[in-house]
């Protein structure tokens, strides 16, 4: 048995279903070993896409997704997706082929020290320098990736080690992860603080979904009647239809929901990841915070933690719910905020303007997708609209990458999401800028016979950057580009192409795309003049 074959047996022991990646010379031993296993190797058109797929697989399943690249440019291409998963707290194990140990001491073809390169973008990484340590390295990579908070790990496998023979070595068996919860004394302190607060507010983050704490959160808020604001990645922690849901916050400026933060006297953050929503944007008056999470919070001047409640989020919410008294609160302001926010979307249901306004696109998309269907937003101006106005019923039904927030994430992620949930409709919401960064993965979707829908908002430029430029300088620069004929492009990849030419075509086109149950590409022109109108609106809101 070779080290590569042992390595694959270790992957099988970890329950790996798929490895996403691009073949290369220095990883051919691994590829050959995978060929004889039950693991399916998914050939992607770019290494970054492979890591995006692995990260989304990890986010949706809770099991580390696995991606593979060769050394040099393969490994550097992979790194963006690995960093994206790490900052989004998605479990991922990255594997890179590497130059043999006999040439790592000198300048040689395509060789870079990948351990040092990957160190800042992973929780842990190591090179296999000795055949016998292979089981330990693989086991640790999966163990660390799956520990709270989830993230990325990296294994570097030199080609000479991969081809070595090894005997009497077996994979290590995964061990059950320990469960911890806060002490009764800490829980009692939290209960006292919450019961004394007149206007407490919950900020629900990514950790609630990651730890599957939705039911415990719903039980807790039903008893305490504390309203809930969602971060971009916390969307769906409770249904948007719940009368205590204050929908989503995350856009800078005075939004309706920002006023809720300003009026509170205690903020309870649950599973909140600071990287996606800086506290200076929502805690300008330094309200005290109860931090409920698996780890202590990052130090931040606008995040004054009065109490840490650390450990398993479901267990700690359950403890709180058991000890806290039922409450009756005047939440009339919550209904007012919800009404104003929801009316913004409802006002555009019948809007006939063309190119189509963002609000209309989202209204049509929301109306055709079920509660469990999955919409995945790429990064760009459309992301801000999706985050603010696409309301989720359940966790992981509106996926938004908001840590590293790398462009190009949606199409690869839609592929992985459809693999995990073939019974659900999956829509990748892209801008024309972000689509072109990973658009070649349309071929991957077609090859795998995955009926995903790509809904592209076309404005012939980098709309989010223009939005920031106009806000800052009152003019824009260097943001326009040309576009291909998307009907021909999509058709050449085997997708059914649709082009929207007036507003009332979008909803029936989406319905038709769902009914066709095949890969569909929808080219939808968007009117981003609404961006600055929103900026002006947020500037006029007085808290």
Q: What domain range is 98 assigned to?
A: 3-162
Which residues, including other chains, have CB under 8 Å from residue 41's CB and lie 6 or more apart? 18, 19, 21, 31, 34, 35, 68
Paired tokens of 209? 């979904």
Q: Concatenated DSSP letters for 189-255?
A: HHHHHHHH-SSEEEEE-HHHHHTT-HHHHHHHHHHH---EEE-GGGTTSS-TTSTTEEEE--SSS--
Q: What are the backbone angles phi and psi of residue 343, rounded to the nearest 5°?
A: -65, -30
Q: What CATH code is carried by the domain that includes residue 68? A: 3.40.50.970
Evaluate if residue 535 carries a pLDDT over 80.
Answer: no
β-sheet bridge partners, residue 525: 458
Domain co-membership, 472 together with 364: yes
The answer to whether position 178 is within a domain reads no
Tell me which of 287, 305, 336 is where a domain ends: 336
In a domain, 341, yes or no: no
Distance CA(514)–CA(437), nearest Å, equals 25
Residue 320 sits in the same domain as residue 200? yes
**Do 509 and 436 belong together in one domain?**
yes
Percent of the chain having pLDDT more than 70?
A: 98
What is the three-class DSSP state of 67? strand
Cβ distance 40 to 205 under 8 Å? no
Whether pTM > 0.85 for this model: the answer is yes
| pLDDT recorded at residue 543 | 47
Distance CA 123, CA 144 (A): 7
Residue 175 domain-assigned? no
Q: Do 239 and 210 belong together in one domain?
A: yes
**Does any domain span residue 168?**
no
137, 286: one domain: no
- Give the CA dihedral 497, 501, 506, 508, nearest 10 degrees: -80
Q: What average pLDDT does range 422-428 have in this prediction?
A: 98
Residues 309 and 229 in one domain: yes
137-155: per-residue pLDDT in tens? 999 999 999 999 999 999 9
Q: What is the pLDDT of residues 254-263, one digit of tens each?
A: 667 777 788 8
Each residue's pLDDT tens digit, 195-252: 999 999 999 999 999 999 999 999 999 999 999 999 999 999 999 999 999 998 877 6
Burial of 530 (0-12, 13-18, 19+ CB in 10 A): buried
Q: Do both 290 and 199 map to the same domain?
A: yes
Residues 145 and 218 in one domain: no
Do 21 and 40 contact (CB within 8 A), yes or no? no
CA distances from 217 to 71, 221, 260, 372, 432 (A): 44, 6, 19, 19, 38
Asked whether residue 329 falls in the same domain as residue 365, the answer is no
- In this structure, the number of other CB atoms found within 10 A of the CB of residue 531 comes to 22
Count of domains forming the chain = 3
Query: CA-based diameter of the chain, in Å?
Result: 72
Picking from 310, 336, 362, the residue at the C-terminal end of a domain is 336
**What pLDDT was estimated at residue 534?**
82
Tell me if 179 is assigned to some domain.
no
Look at residue 236 in the predicted model and tell me its pLDDT: 95
Angle CA 71–76–81, to nearest 5:
120
Q: Does residue 275 share a domain with residue 405?
A: no
């Amino acid at each position: 048995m070779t080290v590569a074959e042992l390595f694959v047996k270790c992957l099988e022991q970890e329950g790996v279903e798929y490895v996403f990646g691009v073949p290369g010379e220095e990883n051919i031993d691994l590829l050959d070993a995978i060929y004889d296993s039950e693991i399916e190797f998914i050939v992607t058109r770019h290494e970054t896409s492979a890591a995006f797929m692995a990260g989304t697989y990890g986010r949706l399943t809770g099991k580390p997704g696995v991606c593979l690249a060769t050394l040099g440019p393969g490994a550097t291409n992979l790194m963006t997706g690995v960093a994206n998963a790490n900052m989004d707290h998605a479990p991922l194990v990255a594997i890179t082929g590497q130059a043999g140990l006999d040439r790592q001491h000198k300048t040689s073809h395509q060789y870079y020290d990948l351990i040092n390169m990957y160190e800042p973008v992973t929780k842990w990484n190591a090179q296999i320098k000795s055949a016998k340590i292979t089981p330990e390295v693989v086991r640790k990579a999966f163990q660390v990736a799956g520990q709270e908070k989830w993230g990325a790990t990296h294994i570097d496998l030199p080609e000479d080690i991969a081809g070595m023979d090894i005997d009497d070595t077996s994979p290590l068996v995964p061990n059950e992860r320990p469960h911890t919860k806060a002490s009764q004394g800490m829980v009692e302190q939290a209960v006292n603080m919450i019961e004394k607060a007149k206007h407490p507010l919950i900020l629900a983050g990514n950790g609630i979904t990651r730890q599957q704490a939705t039911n415990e959160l719903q039980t807790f808020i039903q008893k305490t009647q504390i309203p809930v604001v969602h971060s971009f990645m916390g969307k769906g922690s409770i249904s948007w239809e719940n009368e205590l849901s204050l929908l989503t916050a995350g856009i800078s400026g005075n939004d309706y929901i920002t006023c809720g933060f300003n009026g509170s006297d205690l903020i309870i953050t649950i599973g909140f990841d600071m990287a996606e929503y800086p506290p200076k944007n929502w805690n300008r008056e330094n309200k005290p915070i109860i931090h409920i999470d698996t780890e202590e919070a990052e130090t931040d001047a606008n995040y004054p933690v009065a109490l840490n409640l650390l450990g398993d989020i479901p267990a700690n919410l359950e403890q709180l719910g058991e000890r806290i008294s039922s409450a009756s609160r005047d939440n009339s302001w919550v209904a007012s905020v919800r009404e104003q926010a929801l009316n913004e979307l409802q006002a555009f249901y019948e809007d006939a303007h063309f190119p189509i306004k963002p609000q209309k696109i989202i209204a049509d998309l929301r109306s055709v997708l079920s509660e469990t269907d999955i919409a995945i937003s790429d990064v760009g101006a459309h992301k801000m609209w999706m985050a603010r106005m696409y309301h989720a019923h359940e966790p992981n039904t509106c996926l938004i990458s908001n840590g590293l927030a790398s462009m190009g994430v949606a199409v690869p992620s839609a592929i992985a999401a459809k693999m995990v949930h073939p019974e659900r409709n999956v829509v990748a919401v892209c801008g024309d800028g972000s689509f072109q960064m990973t658009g070649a993965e349309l071929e991957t979707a077609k090859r795998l016979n995955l009926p995903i829908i790509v809904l592209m908002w076309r404005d012939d430029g980098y709309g989010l950057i223009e939005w920031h430029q106009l806000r800052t300088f009152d003019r824009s620069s260097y943001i326009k580009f040309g576009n291909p004929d998307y009907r021909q492009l999509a058709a050449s990849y085997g997708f059914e192409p649709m082009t929207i030419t007036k507003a009332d075509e979008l909803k029936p086109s989406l319905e038709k795309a769902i009914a066709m149950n095949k890969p569909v590409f929808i080219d939808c022109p968007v009117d981003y003049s609404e961006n600055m109108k929103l900026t002006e609106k947020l500037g006029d809101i007085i808290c």
